[in-house]
Structure 1
Amino acid sequence: MIVKHNLTAMNSNRMLGLTTTSQAKATEKLSSGYKINRAADDAAGLAISEKMRKQIRGLTQASLNAQDGVSAVQTADGALNEVHDMIQRLTELSVKAANGTLSESDRGAVQNEVDQLVAEIDRVSTTTKFNETHLLRGTNANGKAGELTYTDAATALDGNLGTGSAVDTVKGTVDVAITSPATVQITTVTPSITATGKSVGPVELPDGTQKTYYLIESAAPTSASEAIRAYNEDASNAPSKAYGSMSELTAALKADYSENIRAVTTYLDDNGDLTLKAETFADLNNPVGLDLHVGADSTDDNKIYMNISMLSAKGLGLNGLNVSGDNADAATAAIDVVADALQRVSNQRASLGAIQNRLEHTIANLDNIVENTTSAEASIRDTDMATQMVEYSNNQILAQAGQAMLAQSNQATSGVLSLLQ
């Protein structure tokens, strides 16, 4: 018998240590739910599962990208639905104005509604956004999506609107102050009538001629309306014209520059002077490209490309739409212009609808791939709880047995004491 080295106890302790280590790993796997908690658990399995995780995470985000694309398409389509309705109304108004039973004043009333609808179509185009991305503005010559330029309007209006400032190429507006002096005396063809009012001009029209717009506010000794009639009937006063209200004057200014001016309104400036504000049509931009990334890799076939045309009034050819006049010629021609605009919107909506259907299939496919890849990754990475619990229970029994044997081994050498007594 030897007492210097207790080999039995050493062996029992070593085996108990192995069992304890194995039990600790089993406890870690059961508590974390993962079969691989560190690279040492399964080096190859870790590499494979991380590659799968990369694909899962990428495809999950790609699915969200496609869903955002659907939302953007629906936003654009919703806006174009309203544009469709307004163009349909323009069809009704054009056909109505083309009827020979309408007078010139009747067509003027129809033209007022046409102008408002065209202005709203243009406003919808320039303001419709999804997540701060303009959808219907297109891309300008500098490749800047959603940025509007007004070079065409600036060329047509700069320096032509009397004492007004040049076109603001950022906001697309031009301010025209009533000319100084603000009060003008107009002696009409009837010498006994003297009219007092304000004027805008002279301004240069697109055809190169000049025109002054007079607003007659009062007349003596008769009415302002009589002064307006008398002034406008006097051929020597051409090409100037008098109006009885500011709304009539602004409507005339809008009509003369209809291809470049969207609307004309009035306001008082900081000095209290009456000022006309003309909102201009933006230049026509190229279609905007919305490239949707719907894959986990960087290759081009993981992108879906869609284009949305600039569907402003100018993009639809509706700027300058005219149904007024003393005959039906302009209104008849407007019918075809409106029909062409309607077809453009229909084509764009059809394209958007096709893209949305494609994206819905894309989303379904991506979600299916994510699900099946997750299942494969789980088989590599996740703990089989039933199997691991069996191993844990086995290690627990072995640990208890090892502890008992270690105790017995430590008692084995005590018998030497009887020999020493």
Structure 2
Amino acid sequence: MVVQHNMQAMNANRMLNVTTSAQSKSTEKLSSGYRINRAADDAAGLTISEKMRKQIRGLDQASTNAEDGVSSVQTAEGALTEVHSMLQRMNELATQAANGTNSKDSDRQAIQDEIDQLTTEIDRVSETTKFNETYLLKGDKGATKNVYMNGHDAGLKGTLTDSAKSATFVMDTLKAGDKYTIAGKEYTIGSAKTELTDLIDKADKELTAAAAGTKDVEIDGKTYTLTYKQGGNTIAEVGGNAVASLTDLKDKVKEGSSVSYDGKTLTAMNDKLGGGTDGKAADGIDDDDSSIITAAQAKKLIKAELIAANNIGTVDSKATVDDGTDDAATGKTTFNITKGYATVADTLSFNLHVGADADMTNKINVNIDSMDSASLGIKGLNIKDDSGNAATYAVDAISDAISKVSSQRSSLGAVQNRLEHTINNLDNVVENTTTAESRIRDTDMASEMVNYSKNNILAQAGQSMLAQANQSTQGVLSLLQ
């Protein structure tokens, strides 16, 4: 029996300390709700949990970023909705102005005034639409680009092929007798005096090539017979005197003359095209009927209309059109169009970060073109003219603008739909990751309560046993009495 070393008490005390420590940990877990309150509780679990927490909080913010992106896209798209409405109204006005019943001085002026106001409002919407101090529709003011206008055929019969900076208009080569509508007016292609004299030359050349026989040419109802003669064919008017030379025969062709040869009859326009006596300048237009013009004059008119149609909306560089090239092999005439452009602010581009990691694939790019009148190709739109052709060409330009706004709205709508799916996915990942993190870090309250109750009972028992062990040495006193 010893006093100095009460091993029963020491053992009871040691076990009581173990139980008290376990009870303290259970109390901490139950009160905090976390199974891991310090690295010592579960070192590996803490590491995994913290990585998951980083991902969860990053994804929560990414979802908020995407929601902000949806808001900005909705702001831009909402403004473009009104731009669309204004363009549709401008289309109505241009169509109205194209009607021939309008008066240039009053009706078309009133229409022009409204178009000017609508154009100004489109510019204002472009300049002022913003989200969180970012202007959405005025482009990137730090850079510029050239916006080339779409190619147009001015309503002419033919085929237009459009490309980035140029276009080609191909039509059937005009021949004498053809009818062709230019700027709403139908023209008949008349013959120039040279075409008639070329027909006489053709007869002379064919006779020379044959080296025998005769050829009959009829001029203004009179027949002239060309007879082959080596060194120069002879000419005689049937029933009349001989003609001295081929040149004299061609001099008989005057304004309004007709020449027939080999089943083909050409009538010269009544225009001063060399040899005329009316004192008027040769302009390719019949002096008696302005709807009869030469093919060369028709090409000039076609070129002018192509220029007018393709110059709508050009600001910094005007469109140009060549004189048209005839291809005898294909029977086609090609006009090459160099398109004009307006220099505008470059496309606004920003990225929405929709992930928790520094990965570039976590960025969704949003591009919004400048939506002012210059970018849309309707700056300085003018529908005032006597014929209404300017308004007719304006309809095409407005149609191009509507198409451009539609394309931009479609792009924004696609981004918005993508962002909504992104938000749904992010929220789903956050939920599932949070569930996984909860399994690692959160306290299982029921299980821990069992441990707490066990440790509570053990603590009470340990205290009782310690008290009993301390009493065990009292027997020593009986030996000392």
Give the structure-2-normalised TM-score.
0.58
**Aligned equivalent of 2:205:** none
Per-residue deviation, residues 97-129 of structure 1 (Å, max 9, x unmatched): 111111121111111111110011111111111
Letter in 2 for 1:364: N
Q: Secondary structure at the match of 2:344?
A: coil
Match 2:435 to one of 375, 397, 404:
375
Q: Is the 8 A contact 2:143 2:346 kept in 1?
A: no
Partners of 1:4 and 1:100 in 2: CA distance? 127
Per-residue deviation, residues 286-307 of structure 1 (Å, max 9, x unmatched): 1111211111111111111121
Structure 1 pair 131–97 and aligned structure 2 pair: CA distance change class (3 A): same
Q: Secondary structure at the match of 1:137?
A: coil
Which stretch has the larger CA shift, 327-336 or 17-26?
327-336
Deviation at 1:325, TM superposition (A): 3.0
Deviation at 1:142, TM superposition (A): 4.4
User: Structure 2 matches for 1:398-409, cutoff 5 A?
Assistant: 398-409=458-469
**Aligned equivalent of 1:221:** none
Q: 1:390 aligned to 2:391?
A: no
Q: Secondary structure at the match of 1:314?
A: helix
User: Structure 2 matches for 1:65-214, cutoff 5 A?
Assistant: 65-104=65-104, 105-142=106-143
**Aligned equivalent of 2:41:** 41
Per-residue deviation, residues 202-257 of structure 1 (Å, max 9, x unmatched): xxxxxxxxxxxxxxxxxxxxxxxxxxxxxxxxxxxxxxxxxxxxxxxxxxxxxxxx
Deviation at 1:12, TM superposition (A): 1.0
Q: 1:416 aligned to 2:476?
A: yes
Q: Is the 8 A contact 1:26 1:392 kept in 2?
A: yes
Partners of 1:3 and 1:141 in 2: CA distance? 92
User: Structure 2 matches for 1:196-345, cutoff 5 A?
Assistant: 284-345=344-405
Letter in 2 for 1:18: V
Per-residue deviation, residues 143-169 of structure 1 (Å, max 9, x unmatched): 9xxxxxxxxxxxxxxxxxxxxxxxxxx
Q: Is the 8 A contact 2:127 2:138 kept in 1?
A: yes
User: What fraction of aligned residue pairs are identical, expressed as a percent?
Assistant: 65
Deviation at 1:259, TM superposition (A): 8.1
**Aligned equivalent of 1:50:** 50
Runs of 4+ in 1 over 4 A off after TM superposition: none
Partners of 1:315 and 1:25 in 2: CA distance? 70
Partners of 2:82 and 2:123 in 1: CA distance? 12
Structure 1 pair 319–142 and aligned structure 2 pair: CA distance change class (3 A): closer
Structure 1 pair 139–335 and aligned structure 2 pair: CA distance change class (3 A): same
Task: Say which one has the larger Rg.
Answer: 2
**Aligned equivalent of 1:153:** none
Structure 1 pair 135–362 and aligned structure 2 pair: CA distance change class (3 A): same
Deviation at 1:283, TM superposition (A): 5.8
**Aligned equivalent of 1:4:** 4
Deviation at 1:318, TM superposition (A): 1.4
Deviation at 1:43, TM superposition (A): 0.4
Q: Is the 8 A contact 1:95 1:332 kept in 2?
A: yes
Q: Is the 8 A contact 1:98 1:331 kept in 2?
A: yes
Count of paired positions: 287
Letter in 2 for 1:76: A
Q: Secondary structure at the match of 1:297?
A: coil
**Aligned equivalent of 2:176:** none
Deviation at 1:326, TM superposition (A): 3.3
Partners of 1:388 and 1:355 in 2: CA distance? 49
Deviation at 1:133, TM superposition (A): 1.1
Deviation at 1:420, TM superposition (A): 1.1
Partners of 1:6 and 1:300 in 2: CA distance? 70
Partners of 1:8 and 1:302 in 2: CA distance? 66
Deviation at 1:134, TM superposition (A): 1.1
Partners of 2:387 and 2:128 in 1: CA distance? 36
Deviation at 1:327, TM superposition (A): 3.2
Structure 1 pair 123–283 and aligned structure 2 pair: CA distance change class (3 A): farther
Letter in 2 for 1:37: N
Per-residue deviation, residues 164-194 of structure 1 (Å, max 9, x unmatched): xxxxxxxxxxxxxxxxxxxxxxxxxxxxxxx
Letter in 2 for 1:298: A
Q: Secondary structure at the match of 2:99?
A: coil
**Aligned equivalent of 2:210:** none
Q: Secondary structure at the match of 2:373?
A: coil
Partners of 1:32 and 1:135 in 2: CA distance? 48
Per-residue deviation, residues 269-290 of structure 1 (Å, max 9, x unmatched): xxxxxxxxxxxxx961111112
Letter in 2 for 1:47: T
Deviation at 1:3, TM superposition (A): 0.9
Deviation at 1:44, TM superposition (A): 0.4
Q: Is the 8 A contact 1:45 1:380 kept in 2?
A: yes
**Aligned equivalent of 2:27:** 27
Partners of 1:4 and 1:30 in 2: CA distance? 40
Partners of 1:79 and 1:52 in 2: CA distance? 41
User: Structure 2 matches for 1:339-358, cutoff 5 A?
Assistant: 339-358=399-418
Partners of 2:15 and 2:343 in 1: CA distance? 85
Give the structure-1-normalised TM-score.
0.66
Structure 2 alignment gaps of length 5 or more: 145-312, 316-341
Q: Is the 8 A contact 1:108 1:325 kept in 2?
A: no
